[in-house]
Homo-oligomer: A and B are copies of this chain.
Amino acid sequence: MKKTIVTNDSLYQYFAKHGYRLTAPRKEIISILAQNNNHPSIEEIYFSVHKKYPSIGITTVYRTLDLLVNLGLVHKFDFGEGKARFELIDHPDGIGHHHHLICVECKKIINYTDFIDKEVVLFKKIQNRLSKKYNFEIKNHIVEFYGTCEDCKTS
């Protein structure tokens, strides 16, 4: 799946502009996220990165994800499993953008893209108004439907 990844150069600029450094472990973590749109957890990211960069510590993964969230490059999800999950933010109207159906029982997550167009058009409008009204710089949004999935309805 193709993501609208920024080039290393412009990423570098972006980090520098905010006073941070685009180091090897950070690049590796971003690269893993770019290959993966299944909202991986810290542990999953850690293991993936570890293959290419065995010296990495899990603390760095935590810190990097935190940084990426604050830079507005990554979104942090909590689907009720007791651990966070992460995903690179595409342009909200770009390829790859999706919303979620979440089963409150088994925590299964379904990505859907139906209606995304209509949702995005509405949200763009809402976002403009809200950011002006509250002087709030909106970086991304999430939409989630909670309920019971096919498998858990019966049992």
Contact = CB atoms under 8 A, between A and B. Distances in A.
Interface of A: 69-70, 72, 75-76, 78, 80, 101, 103-105, 110, 112, 114-115, 118-119, 122, 125-127, 129-131, 133-150, 153
Q: How many copies does the complex hold?
A: 2
Contacts of A75: 146
A51 B137 CA distance: 40
Contact of A141 (B137, B144, B148): B144
A105 B139 CA distance: 12
A150 B133 CA distance: 10
B138 A69 contact: no
Which 7 interchain pairs have the tightest Cβ spacing? A78-B78, A138-B147, A135-B150, A139-B147, A137-B148, A141-B145, A115-B126
